[in-house]
Structure 1
Amino acid sequence: MQRHAPVATNAVLAAPASPDAQLVEELAAVLRRAEAGRIPVAPLTEEYEDLDLAGAYAVQEANVRIRLAAGEHLVGRKVGLTSLAMREQLGLPEASFGTLFQSMVIPDGGTIDTRELITPRAEAEVGLVLGRRLSGPRVTDAEVRAAVTQVALAVEIIDSRIADWHVSQADTVADNASSARVVVGRPVDATDDLLTGLRDECVGLYADGERVAFGLGAEVLGDPLRAVAWLARTLHAHGSALHPGELLLTGSVHASVPLTPGSRLAVRSDTGRLPGLTVTVR
């Protein structure tokens, strides 16, 4: 399989500026209503051309605060657009991050109800769990390697509250990096051999037994561990950190695939070192 050159990952986002607080709250409310009513909205950047990444992350954070205040439980983070396939599919230039809540988690063997979503798509990914806190402007791949305690396959269901997936980088960032649901397989201990081999792990997405998409771990910024290092540095710039026990989705290894009601999805690795998972699409 051809390996594509990863995007630059040494830099992180600059510390966010202070966008207009009222506008941030208004845009956050627009996205909440779109998600709750399953009625997508026009790109935020069409009406608010000055919405930059700092403002978009402020909108995302506003909705995170509201969900936490409502009693939702944060379970981890996701990194999006880490593969060239996904960046080309959406026409976006760089990685982004979002927040995962317990309400988004569907158990292995469970059911995804597309009636709760707008235009959902599936991505097979490698998930990592940390055993220690990670933060700072210069977190390295080696530090991530030392911090990871578990590895699992995952399928993330992405969904855009922006109509027809016509998103800019700021639109998807504001929209929690287009995250909607996640199914995680049984985690295994992160041995040195397993972490070393993640770059070469071929992960496939199957629909009703047929492989419909696949990719190597190396498609994710060159190494899934590198995606977590980028996330730790970027969160630090936003005044946050990665914490022990958090689930970290490192990004799709392939272009996303539309969900088909009535199908059964599975994610498997070619080596079998990571337990597979299944989920039914309703």
Structure 2
Amino acid sequence: MTTTTTTETETQFAQQLFDAYQTQHALTMADFAAVVSDEDAAYRVQAQLTALKNQPVGGYKVSLTSAETQKMFAAHAPLYGAQVADHFLAAPTTVCRGQLMDPLVEVELVFKAKENLAASDSLTDLWHKTTVAPGLELPDSRFADWFPDLPKNLVVADAAVGGLVVYGTEHDTDQQFASVEDVATPHCKLSHDGEELKTGVASEVLGNPLKSLHWLVGKLAEQGKTLTAGQRVSSGTFVLPPHLTAGHWQADFDHDLGSVQLAVTND
């Protein structure tokens, strides 16, 4: 199990992140480059930041789930961020651009635990124990000019640059997909105001999004945490994300997953 004792410096950093989260006054990443010495320290800061939010944890997001994004952030494994419950939104929905600081748009599968998940669960177990929905994730950061230059440990500390997760209709994963392997095959199309911007496939997410969920459950267990019934997981992006702008965003998925629609206003 990783160290859970937070240093004074880490506590101060968490407070600064929380202040930026509340005020939307962006931090300068160069000022914090040496504050977190390693990934364990970064997760301790994230845990403190989560506590400061004083809201239920609605689930998690998993980042750096493709070879391309891991290379961008000089990482060799995924990372996760805890997300408060009211940052998971059912589609269709409307978001004001001013709710966020410098957001992107990602296309993901969103799993929900039907019961508590354990590190001993196999991919087949997770296939049976979850629901799945199409999703749009809006990653965001408390650091200015963060993408794609924010150091990995600062990404972790900043709740894995968590913003909002918009999810579509949820179905039992083992009813939506014929097998574990089938979860790797959905394709999606991301559009903005009717213009197709990106296409992607679920296999971009560690070869299979269930592997992302499996990694998360194991990582949480290492830290003495459990992914509990009702919590959702945004499992990793199919595409390299564009910036979020005002207008109508839509992600269309095959495999009868349906679509996710999001209106973004400047109000």
Q: Is the shorter-chain TM-score for this pair beyond 0.5, marking a shared fold? A: yes
Cα deviation for residue 89 of structure 1 reads: 4.7
Aligned to 1:145: 127
Counterpart selection for 1:268 from 236, 252, 261: 252
Counterpart selection for 2:42 from 56, 59, 67: 56
Aligned to 1:244: 229
Counterpart selection for 2:138 from 129, 154, 157: 157
Cα deviation for residue 44 of structure 1 reads: 6.8
Residues of 2 paired with 1:78 and 1:109: CA distance?
20
Aligned to 1:217: 202
- Code of the aligned partner of 1:22: E
Deviations 1:3-60 (A, max 9, x none): xxxxxxxxxxxx3225552112101011111222222212278452552110100010
Residues of 2 paired with 1:18 and 1:245: CA distance?
25
Q: How many residues matched?
A: 261
- Code of the aligned partner of 1:143: D
SS of match in other structure, 1:248:
strand
- Tell whether the 8 Å contact from 1:139 to 1:233 is kept in structure 2 after alignment: no
Relative to structure 1, the CA distance from residue 120 to residue 260 in structure 2 (aligned partners, 3 Å threshold; closer, same or farther) is: same
RMSD (CA atoms)? 2.0
- Tell whether the 8 Å contact from 2:36 to 2:154 is kept in structure 1 after alignment: no
Residues of 2 paired with 1:81 and 1:211: CA distance?
24
2:122 equivalent to 1:135? no
2:66 equivalent to 1:83? yes
Gapped runs of 5+ residues in structure 1? Answer: 1-14
SS of match in other structure, 1:257:
coil
Deviations 1:56-102 (A, max 9, x none): 0001001112223xxx2221111111123433454544311111222
Residues of 1 paired with 2:36 and 2:174: CA distance?
46
Where in structure 1 do 4 or more consecutive aligned residues deviate above 3 Å? 44-47, 88-93
Cα deviation for residue 193 of structure 1 reads: 5.8
Counterpart selection for 1:257 from 231, 238, 242: 242
TM-score norm. by structure 2 comes to 0.90
- Code of the aligned partner of 1:151: V
Relative to structure 1, the CA distance from residue 99 to residue 44 in structure 2 (aligned partners, 3 Å threshold; closer, same or farther) is: farther
- Tell whether the 8 Å contact from 2:109 to 2:135 is kept in structure 1 after alignment: yes
Residues of 2 paired with 1:265 and 1:177: CA distance?
23
- Code of the aligned partner of 1:240: K
| Identity in percent | 23
Q: Which 10-residue stretch deviates more, 237-246 or 188-197?
A: 188-197
TM-score norm. by structure 1 comes to 0.86
Relative to structure 1, the CA distance from residue 177 to residue 146 in structure 2 (aligned partners, 3 Å threshold; closer, same or farther) is: same
Aligned to 2:90: 107
- Code of the aligned partner of 2:251: V
Gapped runs of 5+ residues in structure 2? Answer: none
Relative to structure 1, the CA distance from residue 115 to residue 18 in structure 2 (aligned partners, 3 Å threshold; closer, same or farther) is: same
- Tell whether the 8 Å contact from 2:6 to 2:44 is kept in structure 1 after alignment: no
Counterpart selection for 1:200 from 161, 179, 185: 185
Residues of 2 paired with 1:50 and 1:21: CA distance?
10
Residues of 2 paired with 1:278 and 1:130: CA distance?
23
- Tell whether the 8 Å contact from 1:45 to 1:168 is kept in structure 2 after alignment: no
SS of match in other structure, 1:253:
coil
- Tell whether the 8 Å contact from 1:268 to 1:277 is kept in structure 2 after alignment: yes
Cα deviation for residue 172 of structure 1 reads: 0.3
Cα deviation for residue 191 of structure 1 reads: 2.9
- Tell whether the 8 Å contact from 2:128 to 2:174 is kept in structure 1 after alignment: no
Relative to structure 1, the CA distance from residue 154 to residue 162 in structure 2 (aligned partners, 3 Å threshold; closer, same or farther) is: same
